Chains A and B, each alone.
Chain A
Amino acid sequence: MTAAAPLLDIRGLTVELPPGGDRRHAIEDLWLRVESGRTLCVVGESGSGKSLAAAAIVRLMPSPRLRISGGQVLLDGRDTLAMGMSELLAVRGGRVGYVFQDPLSCLNPLERIGRQVREVLDRHGWAGDRAARVNRLLADVGLPQPGQIVHKYPWQLSGGQRQRVMIAMALAADPALLIADEPTAALDVTTQAQILRLLREQQAQRGLGLLLITHDFGVVAEMADEVAVLKDGRLVEHGDRAQVLGRPREAYTRRLLAAVPPLLARAARTGGQPLLQATGLRKTWAATGPWWRRGAPTPAVAGVDLRVDRGETVAVVGESGSGKSTLARLLARLTQADGGKASLQGIAEDYLSMPARQLGPLRRAVQMVFQDPFASLNPRHTVGHSVAMGPIACGTPRDQALREARELLERVRVDPRAADRYPSEFSGGQRQRIVIARALAMRARLLIADEPVSALDVSVQAEILDLLEEIQQRDGVGMVFITHDLRVAARMADRIMVMNRGEIVESGNAAAVLAAPAHPYTRELLLAVPRMEGASGCAPPHDTATGGA
């Protein structure tokens, strides 16, 4: 690459936090460049300042209390931080296009798609037929029948379609730089692959510079020409993709990379005693709406069989809407099943139809770990109380329960003195540990984990997964692990079941499913997972059926 003037040149950008926070700067002395036709991926965990940096480029600060206190941002040689307002407004949308994370909340629900896209053209004085350009843009981003889409509202489209609209809007006035802030994080993995492909195509066609913010190294491996790693507002590592992913210089980068589970099945554990046996599980949500316009009833779980042995982990993998979360709730008897049997060895022959009064032993034996660590704990109870609540309700004396709670907290590596503090004082990872302690307090034999690590940073993820595995080995707990992330499933599961639209389409040993998937849907899922294997030097999966990276 020659030393041509870069399209975007961030020089020493510094953003200050309001006083009283845990650090002084949100972003400190950041230097980055993006060239035309090249992609820079900015990677970091939550709190790294990556989204803020993207917003600061056009002074789109989320709060007036975050002050840009130093540095320059040169776009075509002009400093956006020093520009007058009218010039800045022309740059926004005109020279720089933005794509944000959650397309549902990022589009005005009360306005039609066509008008929202056209607005960009009107604002930047697009010469030529604007209506035609809108149709052309929507077709370019792969939306079928643009003529109809322009009349629709955002909530009438699917997640993937909405994100395509966002991309069309960002490209409408022909910008030179496209900034995408976690553009696929809210999408299913198959849709994610399509959107990433679309971004690559548009970049190639238009010669755009692309600044891609993400936390997912798989996305980095697929998209980046250059990579920048941010931590706590500082640039930790910067280089081209092969170097950063293959031969990272900094310990932090190495740690992040190591925390990403490879798409390799673990050694299966077999020979445990049977624990859970469920057959024919069914749940159908009733139709909604007024009586003359009732929709069709939606089957969430349609005849699922499931078996878990002691000490074994069965992963249920699926995308949103597959019914996997409903399945979890059926097994934990938080939702009433419409049909099927589930027996738990030594506890109940069929606990799905047992009356609520007799559920006591079941409640002790089957515990759930939920996805959202911030909603899993009652903010008004101390941590110790939350952990001890279950045993107390089952009759354990209060002092004893609290004592055991402290021991359990220690076991999950949370300071036992924390028992008197409130959940708001803990991080997401710590709260998830507390939730696990709560499940252990009941001496559960079966853990049902519904996306327990999806809301956590990747380094914290690895720790929680290690913890779960250690518990399983020590206590012989069986686990049903619900996830959409095949890498996490590969890390944890002995057996994998793939769920789509309420049905199990494939089921078998983890190694077999990952290496030689039989069902086309499984193959599609595997294909869609962004690959890191080649770049990071880990062995690629032993399959040829899934194709290459």
Chain B
Amino acid sequence: MNISQIEIHDVISGEIVRRDLNETELADAQAEKAQAEKDAKAKAKTEQVLADKRQTILDRLGITADELKTILS
């Protein structure tokens, strides 16, 4: 993974620090990213289950999603 630098601007001192992430920050960032990817996958899976359920019902009714929208509009 290509790791970028971070930058900190201190308003009081005017000091600007540009540096690499330290070990703790890097570990936190990677853990956060891994969690975000896990959450996204879980969300996509949930949405897919819902989509499958919708399609099952539509198939049972013998209509398409567009036809259902027309009925409900």
Chain B associates with chain A:
no
Q: Which residues of A approach B to under 8 Å, CB–CB?
A: none
Q: Which residues of B approach A to under 8 Å, CB–CB?
A: none
